[in-house]
Structure 1
């Protein structure tokens, strides 16, 4: 048992001392069901374990508009893996959790109580819990350098819990750019 503990501690220390950490900022187009326009901004902490493998932890803040229905604001955090190739191409996957707030477009939202009285209601829907998964492909414009300038395409699937669960989901397409602001730690 002690051997397992020491091997685990050694591996943790090895990865912790060998890994480089990049702080990245990015922005892009966020298309809910591809055609409903929006924007997404992201901050990313990327733990680089080798020239080919990293683990990005990303926070996304986004907004999109469904012209006939609502405007939506979301915030989510995801963690995943990214694999770089010598050509500059990279692929990635991530899983995330977040929140989504929608605001109904209308001249007014009205509610009817149990006695039949009509009153004006809130345009804000309840806040939804938003688990998500995404895949991505991109290109590193500064391949084989310490700083990275990435262009990416990320299809994303998310759910609006409790309304949209396993068989009912939202699809979005993200297209954007990410820049490495700073790097810390050992470089490969």
Structure 2
């Protein structure tokens, strides 16, 4: 009888162990990711600043805010022309064999009086060549000329053409405007002929 009781006890103990082992994997398969997620704490996230647009098409106007100098102004590239009839071809010292002009307009929308000139303007070519404005004016240069060192009061604009000595067989891909008040030059894409 002892053998039967021992055998029965061993079988019962084995079943308990098997039952316990069989049920244990069910308990460990439930993970936190299967449970409902806890709600995230509600904190106000900072509103991202809108990305500044720095590339435009010819004819578009760029709004520029120069906070340190208390000025808000606009810059527009009205037209790009190459070649330009008018003055004699540029001299070899200037680096081009024909003239091109960029007609631009700068308006002081709001703020203190500031000065404009041709010098922040340049032409950028596909191969990395950059042609700076010469600052030339007067004589046979294309009219109306964009001035050098002109003061622009609030609610006033300055408009004119900036001449560039360029290679006649190439066309720039961008017109750049990089006054000291901007971190990154504003650019206008030059259309194909």
Higher strand content, 1 or 2: 1
In which range does the TM-score fall when normalised by the shorter chain? 0.3 to 0.5
TM-score scaled by structure 1? Answer: 0.33
Name the structure where helix makes up a greater proportion of residues: 2
